[in-house]
Structure 1
Amino acid sequence: MKRNIKLDATDRKILEILQKNAKITNAQLSQEIGLSPAPTLERVKKLENSGVIQSYHAKLDANKIGLGVSTFVMVSLKGHNKENIERFVSRIESIPEIVECHHVTGSGDFILKIVAEDISSYQMLMLETVSNIDIVDNMQSMVILSTFKDSKVMPLK
């Protein structure tokens, strides 16, 4: 388990700003937090190097790029051992339509978020790829009808 990184008020402010606008220039960021550009850049680099900031991404509109169907799929494996978990994760890492994979407690072992062009593409993916993973025991699909909140912003105390 990773240890928590000590963050002061300035670090938290930097993180709040970058989560909302990762394209902000260092000069603009330094103005907003009240430091000169050099120490601001040093703090951002420290946050990146420590792993607090993992990456920067462009958020895409799935519908506008032809991915009209999103689902959550609860997956149960045939065995709950480390080898099966590693085999499953290894197999799904190579499937680009699976955009999230979470190991969970409860009635299933994993929750996957899957995006596809349409229902027939989704069905084909499930029948020909995901269900053919030999250690998959059971799957339950939930089609996402509407999304009312999809924030990637982490709350900072």
Structure 2
Amino acid sequence: MNTLQKLDHIDRKVLEILQSNAKITNAQLSKEIGLSPAPTLERVKKLETSGIIQSYHAQLDREKVGLGVTTFVQITLVGHKKQVTDSFVEKINSIPEVVECHHITGSGDFLLKVISKDISSYQRLMLEKINEIEEVASTQTMVILSTFKESKVLPIP
């Protein structure tokens, strides 16, 4: 388990800026946080080394790359033993269309975020892959009609 790391106001500012623009130059970042370039780079490297900054990504427009359907799928497993859960998670991790997998409380056991080309691709994925996982007892799908907020920026306390 990760332990909470102390962040000062400059670290928080660096994280805030990098979350909104990971392509910012070190020179521009140093100007925005009020430090010279060398200590700025040192701070970023420290945040990377400590694991607070895990990676950098290009956020894509799903529709422009041909992915028109996003769904949330609630999964109920056949049982709650560790081996059932572990086996399910291992199989789900091998399906690229499943972009998120969350172990949840409530009426289901897992919540998946699934992105597909279209409804027929989604249906094929469900029938041929997800419903074929022997640990799955039932599924319930919620198709996303519109998205009004989708932020990848974490609110740093």
Partner of 1:110: 110
Residue 23 of structure 1 deviates from its aligned partner by 0.1
Normalised to the residue count of structure 2, the TM-score between the two structures is 0.98
| Long gaps (5+) in structure 2 | none
CA distance in structure 2 between the aligned counterparts of 1:48 and 1:102, rounded to whole angstroms: 25
What residue identity is the alignment partner of 2:39?
A: P
What residue identity is the alignment partner of 1:128?
A: E
Structure 2 counterpart SS, 1:105: coil
Normalised to the residue count of structure 1, the TM-score between the two structures is 0.98
Partner of 2:145: 145
Residue 85 of structure 1 deviates from its aligned partner by 1.1
Structure 1 counterpart SS, 2:133: coil
Residue 61 of structure 1 deviates from its aligned partner by 0.7
CA distance in structure 1 between the aligned counterparts of 2:50 and 2:67, rounded to whole angstroms: 34
What residue identity is the alignment partner of 2:63?
A: N
| Long gaps (5+) in structure 1 | none
* Identity level (%): 68
What residue identity is the alignment partner of 1:32?
A: E
Runs of 4+ that moved beyond 4 A: none
Structure 2 counterpart SS, 1:154: coil
CA distance in structure 2 between the aligned counterparts of 1:19 and 1:131, rounded to whole angstroms: 36
CA distance in structure 2 between the aligned counterparts of 1:41 and 1:105, rounded to whole angstroms: 41
Deviation readout 1:111-156 (Å, 9 max, x if unpaired): 0000111101100000000000001001000000000000000112
Partner of 1:120: 120
Partner of 1:55: 55
CA distance in structure 1 between the aligned counterparts of 2:91 and 2:113, rounded to whole angstroms: 15
- The number of equivalent residue pairs is 157
Partner of 1:15: 15
Q: Equivalences for 1:1-157 in 2 at 5 Å?
A: 1-157=1-157
